[in-house]
Chains A and B, each alone.
Chain A
Amino acid sequence: MFERLVVAPAVVGRSARVLLRSLLPLAVSGALAAPCAAALDRKDEGVKDLFFGAAMYEAHQDQFFDAIVQLDTELNQYRRLDQPELDPFSAHLGQAQFSVGDLELSYRMHLEAGRAIEAVLKGNVPQPVKNEAAYRLAKIHYHKQQPRNALHALEMIEGRVPERVRPEEQFLRARVYMELGRFAEAVALLRDLKGEPRLEGFVEFNLGIALLKSGDAERGVAELTALGKRRSADPAQQGLYDKTNLLLGTYLMDAGELELARPYFDRVQLEGPFSNRALLGAGWVEARAGRYDRALVPWKLLQSRQSTNEAVQESMLAVPFAYGKLDVHSTAAVNYGFALDKFGAEIDKLTDSIVSIREGKFLEALRRKEADQVKNWVVTLRDIPGAPETHYLLDLMASNDYQEFLRNYRDLNDLHERNESWLESLVAYEDIIGQRRDYYEPLLPGLDQKFRQLDARIQMRTEERDKFAARIEQMLVTRRPDYLATAEEQEVLAELKQLRLRARNQVVGEESLRRLERLEGVLEFRLATEYDARLTEAYKHLEQLNVEIEKLQKAYHSYVRSRQAATHSYTGYNDTIRNLRARLRQSQDRLDMLMARQGNMLETLAIDELDRRRAQLENYQIKARFALADSYDRANELQEQREDQRKIEALQKAAEVIIDDGGQSGPEDAEPVDGEPLPQDSPPELDSSAESAPSQEAAQ
């Protein structure tokens, strides 16, 4: 019995290690996401630049690639400005620089994010900004499983980090200490962080683990127990509580605290993702305590669940094992038979899956678009038709590294598709450019001719305006009424001048001279008296001329712009497009190569996992066959013993009757038993165990 019980801790030990391994990243990823979102979500500052807001619109939808492209473009344009401080983007500059780092981190570009943050650290920026940068750098190192580098980055923090990220920084520091085995320091930090709403659950979980690992098992268990007793409508939060209970149950079972362990397994929700392992654990607790009948309750429940699950498959062996321990060998044999059928079917499924992966169907399923529609696409993969293998790969897929590979593969595929779409667009652009050239080029000579005419008109008008302006300027200094004479008056003046000349050379009558003088006088008088009004009028005309010239110049500039726009719409693109196309093709080749390598890695690991599961099932199958035979033997043995017992009883009864009645009754009354009844769900052996106990003992 003891030897058999040793089996359970082996499972427990492994489960605990796996759980510890898998639980910490859960806490990490949850906590990592929070600061990232917090860094981007600074709505209180308000959007002062539309394009920054547009980049954030993409970022808030986890469209990291688009958000990075937009922010990078904005930052590059901003850096090229002559007076960047006048641009509204300057209000978001610091935030944009940090956001790019955050987004690159979310897009798994850790190197780039690290470089950007190191640049901030080396730059001439205020200490709080440096502190925040150091925290972010530490986060990257931690995420890349480099706790020493993470601690080094955290040590660069001088003073306090901004309040906004302070809890996350402390939480990160605690987890780094835990990774480095400095549990006492981690405990101190985590105690201070308790009650932080953004880290609810994660702090308590890590505190419990840190306490357990620091040797303070009592407080660790108490901390985790309190966490495990919580309930939440949020599936993610509830998942954390379930995992906590599972971990604790396993830990206590491992420590031999069987009575204490069972309630923890019972607290795990029956329909949650950890329910299978909890049911299995609950069964093992009972089995280890020797209560095989009670172990059967969770195991039987587990047996009817999704047959690809590792815990369910284990339960298929565990159930008959428990029946065997209860000496219900016939039922055990039936259950071993059932398990053998299931294992056979699953082995076939696994073999098909391995073949399907080798044919590239797994990668094909990963590339399918429908998986993108939901956030939790890794889990949704199992529902994709034509990808049965994903049921078996859920545990593998849930591991951090594999998820990273999957995301990388999908990112590469996405980039490949984007490039492909750009290559198609370039063809369309060339077509547009060609059409524009065909349209504009014949029009341009005619337009240029008109432009030259316009240019000549502008020049003429400008010259007139200049001449006119100069005269007015002169009139302000010296009074020149003749400049303001109308054309008719100037004609009259010239005629009078001629007449005066003729009058000097010829003999003219007095009367004529007086008339000439009178006419000259009238004209001079008119010009003198109307001088101011005419000067004002002249100013007005100059203004009108200016307006006219301005209109002409507007038309001129508009023409220049339109001509430029027309020519720019089809000239100077060929080299750019050629260059971009070459780079896109180069990029496609590179992406193809990387996809092939990443895909191969995914396939190799998936096939390894499926192979492992198949080998495990084959092993189960072999063991189940032996156990089946063993159960039949034991069942037969038991049956024979019972038959013998009945015969003995019948003979004894017959002998008693002979003695009592003088041999009136025949031996035919003691009907021979044909055999043990066929096993049922509730085997009769369980009900009559008390009766058959002596015989079982005898059998044992």
Chain B
Amino acid sequence: MFRILQLTFLMLSASLVFAQSVSRDEIRGLDEQIQDAKKDVIELTAELTQLEEKLLYPSNTQAAFFVSLPENSRFDLEAVELRLNNEVVAHHLYTFRELEALRKGGVQKLYTANVQSGEHPLQVSFLGKSQSGRELRATATHTVEKRVGPAFVEIKIAGEESAISFKDW
């Protein structure tokens, strides 16, 4: 019996995670090639994204809407709805990770539109919960002035006080 277990444990102790079938150099070489491929795809994606923006949202018609939360916000944003020119153009339900990203200072690009130069009514509604669990909802309006260049509008949702504020960038 002793020999049985001894052999067993010798086998256990002899087992190594990485067999000799994969060498360190091979691992390093492949890893470097993968890093190189990632770099290529990042560059390619950046170019493709720019092409896409140029094609689909040229600057003379582009209007982009961004959502942010104020600093130290404890408010749980659950959903946002965007109406542009009296039409619902975007509706978003927030996941936990998205909400955390907003709380950490991230800004969500919620919607990009193509609009003519001139004024466009914007209406933003949100639904959320206060820290105490109370349901909060509010709606605010803003006029987007689209000029020759692209229009960028930041929609800051505070929850409790001055629920929604707009900033044209």
| A619 B104 Cβ-Cβ under 8 A | no
Contacting pair B38 A109 (CB below 8 A): yes
- Let me know if B154 and A594 touch, CB within 8 A: no
Q: 1/0 per position for A619-639, CB-CB distance to B under 8 A?
A: 110011011001000000000
The residue in chain B whose Cβ has the minimal distance to the Cβ of A44 is B71
Is B132 interfacial (CB-CB < 8 Å)?
no
Question: Chain A, 565-607, contact with B by CB distance < 8 Å: what is the 0/1 string?
Answer: 1001100010011001001100100110010011001001100
* Contact A57 B71, CB 8 Å, known A7-B5, A608-B21, A623-B5: no
**How far is the CB of B124 from the nearest CB of chain A, in Å?**
16
* B107, closest chain A residue (CB): A53
A133 to B26, CA, bound (A): 29
CB distance from B33 to the nearest CB of A (A): 6
State in angstroms the CA–CA spacing of A505 and B58 once bound together: 75
Report if A10-B4 is in contact (Cβ < 8 Å); known contacts: A401-B27, A605-B21: no
List chain B residues, Cβ under 8 A from A609: 17
CB pair A590 B37 closer than 8 Å: yes
Q: Which residues of B contact A630 (CB under 8 A)?
A: 1
Across the interface, do B48 and A46 meet the contact criterion of CB distance under 8 Å? no
- Find residues 41-90 in chain B having any chain A CB closer than 8 Å to their own CB: 41-52, 55-56, 58, 60-61, 66, 68, 71
Q: How far is the CA of A620 from the CA of B4 in the complex (A)?
A: 8
* Set of chain A residues within 8 Å of B37, measured between Cβ atoms: 412, 415, 587, 590-591, 594
Q: CB distance A425 to B108 under 8 Å? A: no
B46 touches A73 (CB 8 A): yes
* Bound Cα distance A68, B43 (Å): 10
Q: Is the CB of A13 within 8 A of B13?
A: yes
Q: Is the CB of B7 within 8 A of A408?
A: no
Contact A53 B15 (CB under 8 A): no
A74 to B106, CA, bound (A): 15
A432 to B105, CA, bound (A): 36
**A contacts with B: majority SS:** helix
Known: A53-B106, A59-B106. A576 touches B11 (CB 8 A): no
Docked CA distance A82–B51 (Å): 22
Which candidate, B94-102, B135-143, B157-165, is the interface stretch facing chain A?
B94-102
Known contacts: A53-B107, A415-B38. The answer to whether A561 contacts B148 by CB under 8 A is yes
Given known pairs A57-B106, A419-B41, the reply for A580 and B18 (CB within 8 Å) is no
Kindly report which residue of chain B lies nearest to residue A325, judged by CB atoms.
B1
* Shortest Cβ gap from A654 to chain B (Å): 39
Complex interface: chain B residues within 8 A of A576 (CB): 51
| B40 within 8 Å of A (CB atoms) | yes
**Which of chain B's residues have a CB closer than 8 A to the CB of A577?**
51
Q: B101 and A411: CB pair below 8 A?
A: no
Given contacts A42-B105, A69-B42, A419-B41, whether A11 and B12 have CB atoms under 8 Å apart is: yes
Interchain nearest-CB distance for A25 vs B (Å): 12
Q: Are B22 and A580 in contact (CB under 8 A)?
A: no
Q: Is the CB of B34 within 8 A of A598?
A: yes
CB pair A619–B48 under 8 Å, yes or no, is no
B30 x A598 contact (CB < 8 A):
yes
Which A residues lie within 8 Å of B17 (CB)?
Answer: 395-396, 399, 401-402, 609
- Cβ contact within 8 Å between A60 and B100: yes
The distance in angstroms between the C-alpha atoms of A383 and B7, with both chains bound, is: 33
Interfacial chain B residues near A612, Cβ < 8 Å: 15, 19
For A4, what are the chain B residues with a Cβ–Cβ distance below 8 Å? Answer: 1-2, 5
| CB <8 Å contact, B11 and A619 | yes
Chain A CB within 8 A of B109 CB: yes
Contact of B4 among A50, A402, A597, A626 (CB under 8 A): A626
Q: Measured between alpha carbons, how far is A40 from B109 in the docked complex, in Å?
A: 19
Contact of A107 among B9, B26, B38, B108 (CB under 8 A): B38
CB contact between B51 and one of A108, A429, A591 (< 8 Å): that residue = A429
B92 touches A (CB below 8 Å): no
A422 contacts partner chain B, Cβ-Cβ < 8 Å: yes
Q: How distant is the Cα of A310 from the Cα of B12 in the complex, in angstroms?
A: 10
- Interface residue count for A (Cβ, 8 Å)? 92
Asked whether A56 lies within 8 Å of B9 as measured between CB atoms, the reply is no
Known: A69-B42, A418-B45, A568-B58. A54 touches B4 (CB 8 A): no
CA distance A76 to B45 in the complex (A): 14
Residues of B97-139 contacting chain A, CB below 8 A: 97-98, 100-102, 104-109
Instruction: Please pick, from A56, A69, A404, A594, the residue contacting B45 in the complex, using a CB distance under 8 A.
Output: A69
A411 to chain B, nearest CB (A): 7
**Nearest opposing residue in chain B for A433, CB measure:** B55
A377 to chain B, nearest CB (A): 14
Q: Does A468 sit at the interface, judged by CB under 8 A?
A: no
Given A56-B107, A408-B34, A604-B21, A7 and B9 contact (CB-CB distance below 8 Å)? yes
- In whole angstroms, what is the CA distance A550 to B48 when docked? 39
A130 to B: closest C-beta gap in Å: 25
Q: Which of A3, A13, A47, A405 is B68 in contact with, Cβ under 8 Å?
A: A47
Q: Are A623 and B4 interface neighbours, CB within 8 A?
A: yes
Q: Do A54 and B30 touch (CB < 8 A)?
A: no
Q: Which residues of A contact B61 (CB under 8 A)?
A: 565
Task: Considering the complex, give the chain A residue whose CB is closest to the CB of B22.
Answer: A601
Residues of A within 8 A of B105 (CB): 41-43, 46-47, 53, 56, 60
The residue from B7, B21, B58, B101 contacting A619, defined by CB atoms under 8 A apart: B7
Q: Is B21 touching A620 in the complex (CB atoms < 8 A)?
A: no
Give Cα A7 to B43, complex, Å: 57
Beta-carbon contact of B18 and A61 below 8 Å: no
A281 within 8 A of B: no
Give complex CA distance A635, B10 in Å.
28
**Does the CB pair B11–A69 fall under 8 Å?**
no
Quick one: given A50-B169, A112-B35, A587-B40, are A41 and B104 in contact (CB under 8 Å)? yes
Is A321 at the interface (CB under 8 A from chain B)? yes
> How far is A111 from B32 in the complex, measured between Cα atoms in Å?
8
A175 within 8 A of partner (CB): no
CB of A249 within 8 Å of the partner chain: no
Q: Is the CB of B66 within 8 A of A61?
A: no
Given contacts A11-B13, A46-B71, A69-B42, contact A109 B35 (CB under 8 A): yes
Instruction: Return chain A residues, CB-CB under 8 Å to B166.
Output: none
- How far, in angstroms, from A43 to B101 measured CA to CA in the complex? 11
Determine the distance from Cα of A395 to Cα of B16 in the docked complex, in whole angstroms: 11
Q: Could you tell me the distance between the alpha carbons of A232 and B55 in the complex, rounded to whole angstroms?
A: 53
Tell me the complex Cα distance, A624–B7, Å. Answer: 12
Q: Are A615 and B11 in contact (CB under 8 A)?
A: yes
Q: How far is the CB of B53 from chain A (nearest CB, A)?
A: 10
**Nearest CB of B to A433, in Å:** 7
In the complex, residue of chain B having the shortest beta-carbon distance to the beta carbon of A408: B34
- C-alpha spacing A561/B59, complex, angstroms: 11
A580 near B49 with CB under 8 A, answer no
Q: Which residues of B contact A583 (CB under 8 A)?
A: 44
The answer to whether A584 and B34 have CB atoms under 8 Å apart is no
Q: Determine whether the beta carbon of A623 is less than 8 Å from that of B8.
A: yes
- Among B42, B98, B106, the most chain A Cβ lie within 10 Å of the Cβ of B106
User: Quick check: is A616 within 8 A (CB to CB) of the other chain?
Assistant: yes
A317 at interface by CB-CB < 8 Å: yes
Report chain A residues within 8 Å CB of B108.
54, 57
Q: Is A110 an interface residue (CB 8 A)?
A: yes
Name the B residues within 8 Å of A14 (CB-CB): 9, 12-13
Contact among A10, A53, A62, A418 with B66 in the assembled complex (CB-CB below 8 Å)? A53
In the complex, the 3 A-B pairs of residues with the closest C-beta atoms, listed nearest first:
A53-B107, A57-B106, A60-B101
30 pairs, A vs B, C-beta closer than 8 Å: A13-B13, A14-B9, A40-B104, A43-B71, A47-B68, A47-B107, A50-B154, A50-B169, A54-B108, A54-B109, A57-B106, A59-B101, A62-B97, A68-B42, A72-B43, A107-B38, A108-B35, A109-B35, A317-B5, A317-B8, A404-B31, A412-B37, A422-B44, A573-B55, A591-B41, A594-B34, A597-B30, A604-B21, A608-B18, A624-B4
Q: 10 new A-B pairs (CB below 8 Å) besides A57-B102, A310-B12? A: A54-B66, A58-B101, A60-B104, A418-B41, A419-B44, A573-B51, A597-B30, A604-B21, A605-B18, A615-B11
